[in-house]
Structure 1
Amino acid sequence: MTRNLKIMGLSGMLLLSTALAACTVGPDYTAPKAEMVPFHNTIGAPAPLARPTPPLDRWWTGFDDPMLAEVVQRALNQNLTLDAAIARVTQARAAAASADAQLLPTADINATATYEHQSLRSAVGSVSSGSPGFRRDGHELAVGPSASWELDLFGGLRREATAAGEEVQAADAEQAGTRVTVAADTADAYLQVRAYQARLAVAANQIATDEHLLDLVRNRQASGAATDREIAQAEALLKQARATVPQLRFGLEQQLNRLDVLMGAQPGTYAHDLAVARAIPAIPALPGDQRPVEVLRRRPDVIAAERHLASSNERIGAAISDYYPKISLSGALGVDSVSTNHLFTSSAFQALGGGALRWRLFDFGKVDAEVALAKGANAEALAVYRQAVLRAAQDVEDLLAALATTQDHVTELQGEVAALIRARDLAQQAYQAGSITLTDVLDADRQLLTAQDELDVNRAGVARAAVGVFRALGGGWDPQGRVEDHDHSPSMAP
């Protein structure tokens, strides 16, 4: 008999749940489709010395630079902006847990003890004081549980719970987007540090060359083959080369400070780790078969925008549910007695049960306004999502183009620098032989300095553009965290 009652109870609960689910009001969510043609900028064949394609979620390891890998990992472990994003995920999960709890009954345990010294002048005291056995002092004890439950007949609470769960997924994606940005910004700062160090090395070499040229002019002056004007010109060239050093050192200091802040440390903390100059790392091979749909599935900003859109759709249903009645049940059990001797006896037992109906029939358009507000928020979220899709495509196209053009520019600059080195050396030999003026030597030297500096800037530019491509492709986000996977939250790769 007991077993049959349990089966009947479970069946009743199942039927009730099915009935409630069937009454859910509001539009069901359908993920928007982003129809996009293939990218018109593509990644060309990697250079012969380029490294293999790294895993997209750990792309920084592909540069084969242990120090770069170390600073990126340190930033991912210590960055304060990333800590704040992780804290926002925790808040979103707590909000979702609270919304889920609204679907379930609330049970409380209550205990009260009261003491009263009755006034003889009050309405009760003036009447009761003449009764036999009247006592001015009295106390009452009550103990027992109580419960309440709002029946979600039209799905408003379920819509809110679903919306909160989708906000958790959006917060997860935004946290992943912060992770991608932190890794890319750290790599960018590191590459600029190496670029400034390389440019300072070029400036040092140029200063040494100009000092040698000044010595050469002074020797020629001593032999009567050079004038004071040529000495002044050579000194000016040397000072010009030296004048570039302070500005380069300032730029280097800025990027070192930027790195420290990205790693969650006070500027100057880790500068000594990068004191030894190293070459700008060669870029790894980039994944060349990326389709727009794959990028959209991986881009954290697109995923977050889509999850916000889904959440706003659920809130339309939550607002619509206010058109319908709200029913809640409540009950309490317990014991109530004026003395502790009889508190836990059958005669002190009491029970209370009840129900309540609330229906907003006349609210002067308040529900209409709330539904319109929810629909407006949904329309805004849809526009934000579509804009995120377009910006993602723009990022990829821009950075692929930047990488290709910068690589081409580096190739041209390498040839230019080689030619200018030959021209400068020949000019110095010709000047030493007396066949040309010092002005020709100074022009060749100045052109070489400019070209060498520009070459190092663009070598770093290639590496920075490669970092940008990895970021634009969604590097750092687990490819399994797709827009279509609504049954679970996207997760970060380890």
Structure 2
Amino acid sequence: MRTKLLFALLTLGMAGCTVGPDYVKPQLPTPRTFHETTTLTPQAEAAPVPLDTWWTGFKDPELVRIMDRVMAENLDLAASAARVEQARAAAQHAQADRLPQGSLDGSITREHQSVLSPLGKIASHSPGYDRNQTLAEIGAGASWELDLAGGLRRQAEAADAEYQAAEATHAGVRVSLAAEAADAYFRVRGAQARIAIAEDQIHNEQGLLDLVRLRKEHGLGTARETAQAEALLLQAQATVPPLKIELETQLNRLDVLMGASPGTYAAEITPENGAFVVPAIDTAEGPASLFRRRPDVIAAERELAASNAQIGAALSQYYPSFSLSALLGFSSLSTGKLFTSSAFQPAAALGLHWRLFDFGRVDAEVKGAKGANAEALAKYRGSILRATEDVEDAVVNLTQLDARHAVLTDEVAAHVQARDAAQDAYTGGAVSLIEVLDEDRQLLEARDLLALTHTDEARAAVSAFRALGGGWDAPQSSAEPVASLH
């Protein structure tokens, strides 16, 4: 009868009936396309670039080199990778808890026994009693918790889902770092371009001031005109310090992102190599692509799966748990007789643990697990809504900046013609200096605004790539596990 009972327990343990709900990925309703557009093409001749390495689409070798350094040296990314290793180890530990455990132990104890202790008082009256004793023991033991209710299996499922969530979070760090590094880089390029524009304008204003002073010397100009020209020169000069602050702070930001001290790579990012194009962005797959591309959405779904498994782990506490233990060992007061039949000391045990009078606490644990699952579901639904919002906002921003860029390009060309005509007219005495100064001011504002818009357009493209989950090797299907990063 005992043999049949033991066999039945072993069979149940291996079969592993599992309590709790099996996880089914929720199907969230999403529109087939984004609200604004399906394809963004700021450069009409450009083709959409792969989202995995979107930064190559800007046709800027310096940006590619920076991205390579960020991905290889960034400390936040290294810390995130370490967290993934911790989650992997936790998942492995949870899986190992379902398997039998074995150990080998041995000891030799040398003791000078007290004759006043209970054992010493009795043994000291025996013939040949020796207070100096040596106890040698060695044994191999094994134990196995029979997962009859499936609690350990559910805990292993939860740990595995947590590990996958950590991988997705790591991918999210990569996506964010790529976008942050590109944003800093384009802010550097924007500051450099605007500084160059300001310096060109300072050069032009200095030439105009020299002309006004020369006309005044010959009695053709006035002190008021000279003061106005000087004021315009000072206005142009005043625009440079804020731009240099922007340049230096963004260079420092880039160095830290590349895992280096500020000032390490600043000399490499020269204004001469600052040309870039804004690539096309393909959004034809619609919001459904966010389920497999957005790391935060993937992580939220994996957290939902983990919380679902924790419900089963909590429910398993309603049921008893059994464990089997066995020990094969030897114990002897004489080391020379340790491995003899007389010293052989086997043992076996069947353990039972049942929280029979603790169901109030188990009820609370189950309710807590179900509450955590409801919270995780709400977060998952919210993550896809926020992801869709990010893409829609980025689409609007990039589309309007592209339109503004085209208008400003024509405006700058018109201001150049107007300024040149005004200077020629002023030299010939046909118009006053005020008209020349006004055209110079408008040209400076238009050129500066065009450079700023070009920078903002590139940054908006970066935001769009980030919103789409670009910057990592995403799985082809939302049902696939998170791919390894490289």
Length-normalised TM-score, structure 2: 0.95
Structure 1 partner of 2:260: 265
Q: 1:491 aligned to 2:483?
A: yes
Paired residues of 2:42 and 2:279 also in contact (CA < 8 A): no
**CA deviations over 1:316-359 (Å, ceiling 9, x no partner):** 11011111101111110011111122111122111000011111
- Correspondence for 1:90 among 85, 99, 111: 85
For 1:427 and 1:216, the matched residues in 2 are separated by 14
Paired residues of 1:92 and 1:167 also in contact (CA < 8 A): yes
1:461 positional shift: 1.3
Counterparts of residues 449-468 of structure 1 (less than 5 Å): 449-468=444-463
Counterparts of residues 112-123 of structure 1 (less than 5 Å): 112-123=107-118
SS at match of 2:53: helix
Counterparts of residues 20-419 of structure 1 (less than 5 Å): 20=16, 23-37=17-31, 38-44=33-39, 46=41, 50-363=45-358, 365-419=360-414
Which residue identity does 1:462 align to in structure 2?
Answer: E
Give structure 1 stretches of 5+ with no counterpart: 1-10
Which residue identity does 2:257 align to in structure 1?
Answer: L
For 2:157 and 2:226, the matched residues in 1 are separated by 80
SS at match of 1:31: coil
Paired residues of 1:476 and 1:493 also in contact (CA < 8 A): no
Which residue identity does 2:294 align to in structure 1?
Answer: R
Which residue identity does 1:105 align to in structure 2?
Answer: P
1:424 positional shift: 1.3
1:45 positional shift: 6.1
Length-normalised TM-score, structure 1: 0.93
1:143 positional shift: 0.7
Paired residues of 2:171 and 2:485 also in contact (CA < 8 A): no
Paired residues of 1:50 and 1:283 also in contact (CA < 8 A): no
For 2:8 and 2:446, the matched residues in 1 are separated by 83
Q: 1:366 to 1:289 in 2, by over 3 A?
A: same
Q: 1:44 to 1:104 in 2, by over 3 A?
A: closer
Q: CA RMSD in A?
A: 1.9
Q: 1:405 to 1:163 in 2, by over 3 A?
A: same
SS at match of 1:92: helix
Give structure 2 stretches of 5+ with no counterpart: 1-6
Query: How many residue pairs align between the two structures?
Result: 479
SS at match of 1:471: helix
Deviates most, 398-407 or 26-35: 26-35
1:364 positional shift: 6.4
Which residue identity does 1:39 align to in structure 2?
Answer: F
SS at match of 2:187: helix
Deviates most, 296-305 or 358-367: 358-367
**CA deviations over 1:89-136 (Å, ceiling 9, x no partner):** 000000011111100111111112223323223333333322323222
